[in-house]
Amino acid sequence: MADNKPVKDKWLTIAGIRKEAKRVRWPQWKTKGNNPGIAQNTGEVLIFTGFFAAYFVFCEFVVTFILKSMGIGA
């Protein structure tokens, strides 16, 4: 009787973890070619978040002004 069991992966060993860590494509800090780096992505996210925060604050001021002019609210 032949054993046709699949060979287990040895990834849960120190050697397997090192091998897997070498396969990972770690992101670069600065932009290289067409690939944006971490710094560029972070800057874009911060600008985008700041823009929408200002937009929502502006919208809240407009709605508050409209409600106060109608006599609703304090």
pLDDT in tens, 14-62: 888 888 888 988 888 888 888 788 888 999 999 999 999 999 999 999 9
Alpha-carbon distance values, 61 to 12, 18, 56, 65 (Å):
56, 55, 9, 6
Is the pLDDT confidence value at 65 over 90? Answer: yes
* Number of residues assigned to the chain: 74
Domain coordinates in residue numbering, the chain: 14-69
Q: What would the two tokens of residue 20 be?
A: 């897997």
Which of these ranges, 4-13, 26-35, 53-62, 65-74, has the smallest mean pLDDT? Answer: 4-13
Q: Closest Cα to residue 22, out of 34, 31, 14?
A: 14
Higher pLDDT: 61 or 10? It is 61
pLDDT band at residue 2 using 50, 70 and 90 as cut-offs: low
- What are the helix (H) ranges across 1-74? 14-23, 38-69
